[in-house]
Chains A and B, each alone.
Chain A
């Protein structure tokens, strides 16, 4: 079972929730898809890390064959090519690796070359398998790395897999949730938090994924995110209190469930709720 944890913005508690759920599930897989700034590994401290570089294809120009017709320049929707003073210039960082320029070149002046954009790491933390995706700074898209991370063989059907998504609701988040069995949306108790919750709420509805909300940083006062959930009839999976102790543990890169029984019970209950929801979904919507 694959459970994706997402939120409309960073700092809401995706990593807190996914790391602690993975840890309380014991035998599980944790996959950090937040490839622009993965930080789950700071908590899980995986050992025996193996690494694999991830490449994409970018165009390589044979200047002798190029006749300056500019079909490639006109084709590229990302404007990764320019033709200046009888010379074709390729901007690798802007290229989205669609391969279109190579197809449209009538002179066969363009060919593919490999370009490394980042890497994936696999390690072990207790009984957890920890995957981390790392996109090199300045690269156009982390999607090839996420595809590698979420390859079928990386998660075992009889185990829980927790996917720590990138923030927001853009392409890389879509790629991270598209094969998830269930989505956990993490929300903050502010109006801004509601706005961000609404973004991912619309996304999971668009993708027709079953989902529920975890209310993080809960205070005694009224919670706009909770009101949003009751208005939209969204299942609230659990509430995490806004506490100094939890914040301190988290900022020291400690896994909260290992440090305080109260948090172990909180995430254990949350895991039970999520698991029941997933099972309910798979029996009603197989």
Chain B
């Protein structure tokens, strides 16, 4: 089963990126084969709707679970339709998040923000 994490660097030691739609890279990890690969996020420089585009990519890669610190309402709608479960990532590296997921130590993300749309928000 495939999971995805937005990351700052192409490494399992990378931090989880604070943004989903504007993350520079996505880490994809197969929990059965224990294999990972990375993808440049084509939505990173979008004028708008970055979360929608990023969610489309996640769905197209057959991901079943996304680990992210936060996620917007529009991206959530795409992910919900694609039946991708969205979990709140934990503090720590991508590897630590994979471990937390496989040992069922992560919770579903419960709050989806209305989007920042160029107005920051940290």
Query: A residues engaging B (CB < 8 A)?
Result: 73, 76-85, 87, 89, 91, 93-94, 96, 140
Contact = CB atoms under 8 A, between A and B. Distances in A.
A153 B74 CA distance: 40
Majority SS at the chain B contact face: helix
Interface stretch (B41-49, B86-94, B104-112): B41-49
Interface string B20-49: 000000000000000000000001001111
Interface in B67-122: 74, 77-78, 81-83
Given A80-B52, A82-B52, A82-B56, A87 B46 contact: no
Interface of B: 43, 46-50, 52-53, 55-56, 59, 74, 77-78, 81-83
Contacts of B77: 89, 91
Contact of B53 (A79, A84, A87): A79
A271 B2 CA distance: 68
Contacts of A77: 46-47
A142 to B, nearest CB: 14
Contacts, number: 51
Nearest to A73: B56
Given A89-B77, A91-B74, A94-B74, A84 B50 contact: no
Majority SS at the chain A contact face: loop
Contacts of A84: 56, 59, 78, 81-82
A82 B48 contact: no
Given A84-B81, A94-B52, 9 more contacts: A77-B47, A78-B47, A79-B46, A80-B49, A82-B55, A82-B59, A83-B56, A85-B82, A96-B48
Given A84-B78, A89-B77, A94 B49 contact: yes
Given A73-B56, A83-B56, A78 B48 contact: yes
6 contacts: A79-B43, A79-B50, A82-B81, A91-B49, A91-B52, A140-B48
A282 to B, nearest CB: 37
B81 A87 contact: yes
A78 B49 contact: yes
Most buried by B among A77, A89, A140: A89
